[in-house]
A and B are shown apart, each in its own frame.
Chain A
């Protein structure tokens, strides 16, 4: 499971939808939020992808019916432990890197 507080999603939404004082809650869907249209959804997902390091699909997430479901989707993605030594295979320079 990945950790990503739902408040972080709210902050990104405030930025993308330009709603400074809007009180989001997990039950809200796109219909409840001014500015949350298909285009801004794509931008939201791009911002969430950058924030989480995940490659999130706008197509898949467009079908989720609430912010809570979006949060659950994000946190259900497997966590990658960046501190672990993982052999990735040959890098661009052809050498193995730990």
Chain B
């Protein structure tokens, strides 16, 4: 592709797109990577990738998409899903990945939630896989939105005029799921993205790695999948080897096969995945994993037991302790806030359990019963400052509170949501909603304040689950709490519902459990791990008369989970 004609919107360069275009001109046969499609590996060159992106650009321009327009993308995990994101950027528009409906989701609720989202962000056009076209048309009926089906890309020629926004323009939107999350689209500028990618790449020591290759099964609509495992390697010219998340869940060994086949050096995984791989990789199979430089644990609190299980299972296959790393990240800072030091295992710290349950000073444990072992999430990246706040004041090291961050790659705000954007900051510091402390300059992240349960890396809003419980036959109205409970077995938080039963004859326990779980799965796409029916009066209220989530969570843990 030698005759690109580029119109730059602001007259300045675009620090994210420019390297991609340069590589397209100068190294068209360089590797974009490999994508697992229909059970086979499809290897893709840089030229193939950018040409496909350019076809998407042409389709969008033909449809009248203008610079600055929002373009949601709902595609399956294939080459087009990756290329389309860049294709939207090449049109100067703003891409936003959204998950496609899965069999568990209540489809009525899925489309209801997405209609709210589309009314909120007012996209110009939505790019969907072919089978979703009719349903999407019904969803946006009455809105001024056009739908582009994936197969339209095939007939398109390459775009000749690319309209690039400048660094201060919004590059992308990222949304969490659920009714609550969909209205908080994180807007990130190109400039913020490249500042993060530079800082994070430096923290990872990527320039020192001879032949870096990133392997991933993470969904693209999640910040870890989007930034660490797609945009960062893409920007740096690192080959990406990618597997559909649903394939990985059913066959975790597919990731290990990919590491061996492509001599992958880096991968990012939520905590539960280390345990899942340890448990589910076929015992008879052996993989050569010695090419790995770092497997980075992120997106959930990182637990030592997950690393220990993984090492026990795979140390004979080339995994060394210093490969297992941790990171603390969020979409609001593009991705990484902190990263553990490459080349050595992250620090472990034993603390007294009770000091983590209520904000206070970190204490050494007096006995093993009281002890909880934490993993450091590393030191903040260059350009990022992390602190801990309690009662509106920043506190010192070894004091537990809410983690607050400031960085020169902060998000531009929640798209079209001034109130949420305003409430997110405390004296110019971003309130993360995570609980933790600093020790020796290193961040230790221990949980969440916000009403979010992170289940296998996915954010589930408690409000969405509680709403799903309204009107379940057999439950006493208004007498149910929902909270997250960390499972050592799974390595992740799980949804727990504790609900008081109505008196008298009514549905059986099984019928109630079934109905609760069905409604929760339909609402948030995630099963409850435990639905506990209790007698009336079991649930504890606060002094203001509301059901106390934290007190009841503690009561549940003591009565039902300790044995």
Residues of B within 8 A of A39 (CB): 249, 272, 276, 456, 490
* A34 interface contact, C-beta 8 A: yes
CA distance A31 to B526 in the complex (A): 9
Binds A, one of B115-123, B461-469, B513-521: B513-521
Residues of B within 8 A of A30 (CB): 104, 521, 527
CA distance A33 to B279 in the complex (A): 22
Determine if B514 and A28 form an interchain contact, defined as CB atoms under 8 angstroms apart: yes
* A35 interface contact, C-beta 8 A: yes
Determine if B516 and A34 form an interchain contact, defined as CB atoms under 8 angstroms apart: yes
CA distance A2 to B514 in the complex (A): 30
* B522 interface contact, C-beta 8 A: yes
CA distance A34 to B279 in the complex (A): 21
How many Å from the CB of B496 to the closest CB on chain A? 9
Interface hits, B256-291 → A, CB 8 Å: 272, 276, 279-280
CA distance A29 to B41 in the complex (A): 33
Interface hits, A5-22 → B, CB 8 Å: 18-19, 21-22
Q: A23-37 interface mask toward B, CB cutoff 8 Å, 1 = contact, 0 = none? A: 100001011111111
Determine if B517 and A33 form an interchain contact, defined as CB atoms under 8 angstroms apart: yes
* B531 interface contact, C-beta 8 A: yes
Q: How large is the interface on A (under 10, 10 to 19, 20 to 34, 35 or more residues)?
A: 20 to 34
Q: Which of A23, A43, A46, A58 contacts B510 (CB 8 A)?
A: A23
Among residues of B, the one whose C-beta sits closest to the C-beta of A58 is B250
How many Å from the CB of B515 to the closest CB on chain A? 8
Q: B500-522 interface mask toward A, CB cutoff 8 Å, 1 = contact, 0 = none? A: 00000000111001101110011
Determine if A36 and B527 form an interchain contact, defined as CB atoms under 8 angstroms apart: yes
Q: How large is the interface on B (under 10, 10 to 19, 20 to 34, 35 or more residues)?
A: 20 to 34
* A69 interface contact, C-beta 8 A: no
Q: Which of A32, A46, A62 contacts B517 (CB 8 A)?
A: A32
CA distance A30 to B272 in the complex (A): 20
Residues of B within 8 A of A46 (CB): 279-280
Please report whether the interface of chain A is mostly helix, strand, loop or mixed according to DSSP.
loop
Determine if A35 and B527 form an interchain contact, defined as CB atoms under 8 angstroms apart: yes
Q: A33-B514, A59-B250 are in contact. Are A43 and B280 (CB under 8 A)?
A: yes
How many Å from the CB of B189 to the closest CB on chain A? 35
How many Å from the CB of B216 to the closest CB on chain A? 17
How many Å from the CB of B32 to the closest CB on chain A? 27
Q: Which of A34, A38, A57, A58 contacts B528 (CB 8 A)?
A: A34
* A42 interface contact, C-beta 8 A: yes
Report A's interface with B, CB cutoff 8 A: 18-19, 21-23, 28, 30-40, 42-43, 46, 57-59, 62
Q: Can you list 24 A-B contacts with CB-CB less than 8 angstroms, sorted by A residue number?
A: A18-B530, A19-B513, A22-B513, A31-B518, A31-B521, A32-B514, A33-B527, A34-B516, A34-B527, A34-B528, A35-B528, A35-B529, A35-B530, A37-B527, A38-B246, A38-B249, A39-B249, A39-B272, A39-B276, A40-B527, A42-B249, A42-B252, A42-B276, A43-B279
Report B's interface with A, CB cutoff 8 A: 104, 246-247, 249-252, 272, 276, 279-280, 456, 490, 508-510, 513-514, 516-518, 521-522, 526-531
Inter-chain pairs besides A32-B517, A34-B528, 18 sampled, C-beta below 8 Å = A18-B530, A31-B527, A32-B518, A34-B527, A34-B530, A35-B528, A35-B530, A36-B527, A37-B526, A38-B246, A38-B250, A39-B276, A42-B252, A42-B276, A46-B279, A46-B280, A57-B250, A59-B251
